[in-house]
Chain A
Amino acid sequence: MNAFLVVYLCILISKALVNTVLKYVWQSNPNRDEPWYNQKTESERQRNTFLKAFTDFLAFMVLFNYIIPVSMYVTVEMQKFLGSYFITWDEEMFDDELGEGALVNTSDLNEELGQVEYVFTDKTGTLTENNMQFIECCIDGHVYVPHAICNGQIMPGTTGIDMIDSSPVEEGMESEELFFRALCLCHTVQVKEEETIDGIKKGLQQCSKSSSSSVYISSSPDEVALVEGMKRLGFTYLRLKDSYMEIQNREDSIERFELMEVLSFDSVRRRMSVIVRSHTGDYYLFCKGADSSIFPRVIKGKVEQVRARVEHNAVEGLRTLCVAYKMLKKDEYESVCRQLNSAKLALHDREKKLAEAYDEIEQDLILLGATAVEDRLQEKAADTIESLHKAGMKVWVLTGDKMETAAATCYASRLFHRNTQILELTTKRTEEQSLHDVLFELSRTVHQHSGSLSRDSISGLSQDMQDYGLIIDGATLSSVMKPTEDGSSGNYKEIFLEICRNCSAVLCCRMAPLQKAQIVKLIKASKEHPITLAIGDGANDVSMILEAHVGIGIMGKEGRQAARNSDYAIPKFKHLKKMLLVHGHYYYIRIAELVQYFFYKNVCFIFPQFLYQFFCGFSQQPLYDTAYLTLYNISFTSLPILLYSLIEQHVGMDILKKDPYLYMDISKNCLLRWRTFIYWTFLGVFDALVFFFGAYFLFDNTTLTSNGQMFGNWTFGTLVFTVLVFTVTLKLALDTHYWTWINHFVIWGSLLFYVVFSLLWGGIIWPFLNYQRMYYVFMQMLSSGPAWLGIILLITVSLLPDVVKKVICRQLWPTTAEKIQTKRQCLTVEQSTIFMLSQTSSSISF
């Protein structure tokens, strides 16, 4: 849009320059410069030539300035502002559960919703519900599954646990209890009491029965699921009181642990720890975290069994956490305390020092076991992803989860299909081969395929092309992004981008929040400059939401940070489909038409005025009356296009949703490309030529009235202006595919308004004006037959080329949307004919 504006600015300046130069060439003859009938005043004669030329130039600029559609900016802003209401109003994007609909935080990006090429989505809470269910835990290789539902029937004790493997032996019991206690203690869950103190006591006794009396609250749903899971396994976390954590164990007795330290969770470390002191005075460090961050720190425990179980669960798509502990002696604990305190008090690099301290403390752990938590896919997430794929978007899932879990979710959400060839770029592979080799091998695979594809597409044999899916993990990604030693920094990046370009789906797992933003940035900066969209629900997605062109927040369970930092907030992932395929598509075609039409109508408006300068001695004489000049953009032609840009629907909403392919119709900014722009501009120039020279030849030395009287220059201008207003409005009418009563009202209304205004403007001697140039001009024009015929002719002539172009393009090179329009038209016609036929046949049978 801004580039178009620059072009028009150039046109404006060159027009003014050309006219100024021509004016002085033309005026070089003194009889033209100052004919006897049009003498100058003395002061005008004495003015400096250069100064005069400059003022003339400025005067031409003023005369032609309407070609720069200033009103377009106002209209575009209004369109964006008002148009965004349709998103908030949309009932289909309203979530009853949350009681909230979509939110629009910025209306600047409405049209970019129609141009998205890359979708970066978070997994947890975005693709999935973020509604965690504790599924099982594995202690020393023994698997425990709590009773399916905690409905209050489960009594404390072993009856509540199904043991899949073998019943625990003595020492198993001990580690089992330790494991449960660990999970009960190692968290940052808060308990919200719903009743009064009396009620709490009641709640304590009935805790296992009514879980509603106390509610666990945490920033992480996993923790809640775990603590709730523990409750079902017999260990209930009661509360944190005076830095004592209270647990009700299986024997209904309350154990109190003093909470000494919390080494809180962060997404880089991927684990958290607590240090507690039991009533016996022992210090324990409990640590839970992702397997990758726990296993390297474990020195004892049944690592192999647990690892096998964790991997098994991950493949199932469950989120796994490992739990480990360590006993601390008193002096050990004191040194830990010192370490932590000095880190906490550090003035510089506190973060770094803390991380180092944590790293040192969480060493030499003893593995207890692992947990598995299920996070179900959101409703229609798979359908949404599939539609996005069909719409030509590349979907990237960025998650902090481990690869197997994430991959399982990706399969479930149909990001990867069964026939998708998975390319892996993970630490596991780069351990075997060097990164360099892996990258080259992958790019070779991809290119081989694309080579064969182009051959196939020529022969027209292959129908469905081979899909590629890429899996990359955080560690590998950072080594890809890292500049190589030999200095060719962009090298790997380029290859990586090349691979990504050929993959329809990419899964990035084990990502740190900043890495998410990094990836978005990488794609944004790639040479095609694609429009990116990031969608997420948590605080860890904020960086990528801010980085991407369009940021969408899900109003999820992890707070509203993402929703607040985003451009748009939607309740569920499934709403993204309508947001992009319907709203985005509409906004794009609407704004595209708005912009092009504005340029077009101002060319039509100003070009005749430019031409008129050649016939009035380059004297800056406006062709139209001042009122017309002012009101053209404000009231005669503004409302129809504003309305069009608010409610136009070239294809129905349901069809857009049903056929995601339609989204590709408008990809790569195709309606605002130079070709379209030039077409519109030329159409404008053509129309302007028709208006001006049509009127010129009509007025050429003849009378247009049956009483022999002559028309003057204002009638000439009014005739051109009338043709102009009608042509420009009817052109929009031709472009409108969706005629509601409002469209009819506004389009015919603004034409009527023009006529009524002109009648009024010319019908009265306006006392506040010191000129009455328009008096009866419009009426006189309407009383002339040839003027009517001329107006009709000129309107038709200027509209015809566009109609022909449209019809021929539709017939020969129809876009998908046009095909659908035609089909729909046929269907309705067929339906009505069938209806008519059936009616006639029934009437015959009577």
Chain B
Amino acid sequence: MLIVFFLPHLLYFSSYWSKILKMKKDNKPDNTAFTQQRLPAWQPVLSVGIVLPLFFIIGLAFIGIGIGLLITSNNIQEFEEEYTGIGDNSNCYICANNATANCKCTLNFTIAQPIQGSVFMYYGLTNYYQNHQKYLSSRDDQQLAGETYYLKNPSQSCKPYQMDINNNPIAPCGSIANSFFNDAFALYYNNQGFLDEVKLDGSAIAWWTDHNVKFSNPSQTGSNLSQIFEGTVKPINWSKPVYNLDVNNPDNNGFINEDFLVWMRTAALPDFRKLYRRISGNYSSFMPSGNYTLEITYNYPVKDLPGKKKVIFSTVSWMGGKNQFLGIAYLVFGSLCFVMGFILLIVYAKYQNVEDNDD
């Protein structure tokens, strides 16, 4: 930045010096291609003749890509169930209105077509502004990176969740952490009357770099996590302390709990989904058609926002999840290029002669 501002001055002085040096010689300007503005140059002209084939090529290529994308997108199977609990007849109505902790409700759904391939399970929220400026900045990356000083002295930006009423530091501090999504799901396959649990795998749902580099627990030799976090308090809305998030897997606790990492990667738009689990075990590569039961531990309040909660099951291809937009956009734009090409061709053919007559 500085260089840019000082560049004119530098040049001025350099020219000044060159003037002094040139005093001895005559002051005839240098005859270089640059100073005489005669550098060899390629001088392309955007004429119809060049652009026309370009349009057709782009059109063809884009239509091709578009078709490929659409087919891929259509092969992706996606299944979405809302469980907000609005409306008397919905299963989670009671849980949504009774604010008791760990209220359970179940959701039954049918998968008509068997799903081939690995299936990912997402939870989705709507009308939830994770991208609100105040919310987004209410975190302390240094605390989350495991720096011991910041563990006890969280950043001001975490306010109002920096310290609790007793002036104890909150770990992890800030609004984002405090509003950590705390619904839990269990999935069962209705196999001729009895319920077979579908195993859910919660590993590698967050970015590898988040898990291994950006976030880490404060380290202290010879002490376990709960000792390290001594002196801090859990975020106000949390039921469990951060070192006890995953009771089944002790390595998945603290700041590097994967569910927590997923939540901390704030969504771009107010309607978003986040990866919850991958289906593993017997059903990891094939989910048969039939009835399923989703058991929901309902904790997360969205009714007042007013927002919706949903779970999504989706397969994934090389291009990610289901996304019709990209394919359609490519198709539409490719065709547009083609149409434009034809229009240009007509213009070209019609007015070519006029120009020739001019000459």
A residues whose Cβ falls under 8 Å from a Cβ of B: 31, 35-42, 74, 77-78, 81-82, 85-86, 88-92, 94, 99-101, 586, 615-617, 619-622, 630, 634-635, 638, 647, 649, 653, 694, 696-713, 715-717, 734, 737-743, 765, 770-773, 775-776, 780, 784-786, 789-790, 793, 796-797, 800, 803-804, 806-808, 810-812, 814, 821-825
| Distance, CA A797 to CA B128, complexed state (A) | 31
- In the complex, what residues of A have CB within 8 A of residue B155's CB? 770
| Complex Cα–Cα for A171 and B323 (A) | 114
Contacts A91-B29, A94-B29, A824-B43 given: A706-B320 contact, CB under 8 Å? yes
Q: When the two chains form the complex, which single residue of A38, A85, A743, A807 contacts B179, counting CB atoms closer than 8 Å? A: A38
- State whether B29 touches A621 (Cβ < 8 A): no
Which residue in chain A gives the minimum CB-CB distance to B273? A701
Among residues of B, the one whose C-beta sits closest to the C-beta of A40 is B160
Check A35–B305 contact: CB distance below 8 A. Answer: yes
Given the contacts A789-B65, A807-B344, A35 and B129 also touching, CB distance less than 8 Å: yes
Decide: A90 and B29 in contact? CB cutoff 8 A: yes
Given A712-B268, A790-B326, verify A742-B160 contact (CB < 8 Å).
no
Question: How far, in whole Å, are A704 and B314 apart by their CA atoms in the complex?
Answer: 12
Q: Is B58 in contact with A38, judged by CB distance below 8 angstroms?
A: no
Contacting A765 at CB < 8 Å: which of B42, B204, B214?
B214
CB distance from A560 to the nearest CB of B (A): 15
A709 lies within 8 A of B207 (CB): yes
Specify which of A86, A619, A709, A784 is in contact with B35 (CB 8 Å cutoff): A86
Closest residue of A by beta carbon distance from B144? A772
The verdict on A37 contacting B178 (CB below 8 Å), with A770-B155, A772-B141 known, is yes
> Closest CB-CB distance, A73 to chain B, in whole Å?
12
Instruction: List 6 A-B pairs, Cβ < 8 Å.
Output: A35-B305, A82-B11, A630-B1, A709-B205, A796-B58, A807-B51
Nearest 3 pairs of A and B residues by beta carbon: A37-B179, A716-B268, A619-B133
Segment from B222-230, B238-246, B285-293, B329-337 that makes contact with A: B329-337
Centre residue among B120, B133, B140, B204 by max chain A CB count within 10 A: B133
Q: Which residues of A contact B135 (CB under 8 A)?
A: 37-38, 619
Residues of B within 8 A of A634 (CB): 1, 4
**Cβ of B133 and Cβ of A712 under 8 Å apart?**
no
Q: Which residues of B contact A808 (CB under 8 A)?
A: 344, 347
Question: With contacts A619-B132, A619-B134, A807-B48 known, is A699 near B305, CB below 8 A?
Answer: no
Residues in B266-311 with C-beta less than 8 Å from chain A: 266-275, 278, 301, 304-306
Q: Does B194 contact A (CB under 8 A)?
A: no
A812 near B340: Cβ-Cβ < 8 Å: no
Interface residues on B, range: 35 or more
CB-CB contacts below 8 Å: B15-55 with A: 15, 26-31, 35-48, 51
**Could you tell me the distance in whole angstroms from the C-beta of A324 to the nearest C-beta in chain B?**
47
- Knowing A91-B29, A703-B275, A737-B45, the reply to whether A81 touches B8 (Cβ < 8 A) is yes
Question: How far, in Å, is B35 (CB) from chain A's closest CB?
Answer: 4
Among A31, A92, A699, point to the contact of B269 (Cβ < 8 A). Answer: A699
In the assembled complex, how far is the CB of residue B106 from the closest CB belonging to chain A, in whole angstroms?
25
Q: Please name all residues of chain A whose beta carbon is closer than 8 Å to the beta carbon of B275 when the two chains form the complex.
A: 703, 708-710
Chain B residues positioned under 8 Å from A796 (CB to CB): 58, 62, 333
Question: Among A94, A616, A734, A740, which residue has its beta carbon within 8 angstroms of that of B39?
Answer: A740
Inter-subunit contact A699/B268 (CB<8 Å): yes
Q: Is the CB of A617 within 8 A of B37?
A: no
Out of A81, A775, A789, name the residue touching B326 (CB < 8 Å): A789
- Please determine whether B333 and A772 come into contact, CB atoms closer than 8 angstroms: no
The answer to whether A38 and B134 have CB atoms under 8 Å apart is yes
Tell me whether A712 and B45 are in contact (CB under 8 A).
no
User: Which A residues lie within 8 Å of B325 (CB)?
Assistant: 697-698, 700
B48:A715 contact, CB within 8 angstroms:
no
**Looking across the interface, which residue of chain A has its beta carbon closest to that of B205?**
A709
Q: Are B160 and A41 in touch, CB under 8 angstroms? A: yes
Please give the distance in Å from B129's CB to the nearest CB on chain A.
5
Note all chain B residues with C-beta closer than 8 A to A771: 139, 141
**Given A94-B28, A700-B269, A785:B320 Cβ within 8 A:** yes
B267 cross-chain contacts in A, Cβ below 8 A: 710, 712-713
Assess whether A772 is in contact with B31, with CB atoms less than 8 Å apart.
no
Give every chain A residue within 8 A of B320 (Cβ-Cβ).
702-706, 708, 784-786
Chain B residues near A653 (CB-CB < 8 A): 37-38
Q: Please judge, given known A-B contacts A786-B326, A806-B46, whether A701 and B124 are in contact too, CB under 8 Å.
A: yes
- Is B262 among interface residues, defined by CB-CB distance under 8 A? yes
Q: 14 other contacts beyond A703-B321, A780-B209, with CB at 8 A cut-off? A: A37-B128, A39-B160, A78-B7, A635-B4, A647-B37, A649-B37, A704-B320, A741-B39, A771-B141, A772-B145, A776-B210, A786-B319, A789-B330, A807-B47
Contact B129 A739 (CB under 8 A): no
Return chain B residues, CB-CB under 8 Å to A797.
329, 333
User: Is B232 on the interface with A (CB-CB < 8 A)?
Assistant: no
Residues of A within 8 A of B159 (CB): 41
Q: For B130, list chain A residues within 8 Å (CB).
A: 713
Residues of A contacting B306 in the complex (Cβ-Cβ under 8 angstroms)? 31
Q: With an 8 A cutoff between CB atoms, is B136 at the interface?
A: yes
| Distance between Cα atoms of A49 and B7 in the complex (Å) | 46
| Cβ–Cβ contact B136 & A77, under 8 A | no
**Shortest Cβ distance from residue B217 to the other chain A in the assembled complex, whole angstroms:** 16
A791, B348: Cα distance in complex, Å: 31
Q: Tell me the nearest residue of chain A to B270, going by C-beta.
A: A615
Residues of chain B with a CB closer than 8 A to A742's CB: 39
Q: Evaluate contact between B347 and A811: CB separation under 8 angstroms.
A: yes
B1 contacts across to A, CB distance below 8 A: 630, 634
CA–CA, A804 and B339, complex, Å = 12
Interface residues of B in 148-169 (CB under 8 A from A): 155, 159-160
Do residues A810 and B36 form an inter-chain contact, with CB atoms below 8 A?
Answer: no
In the assembled complex, which residues on chain B have CB atoms less than 8 Å from the CB atom of A617? 129, 131-132, 270
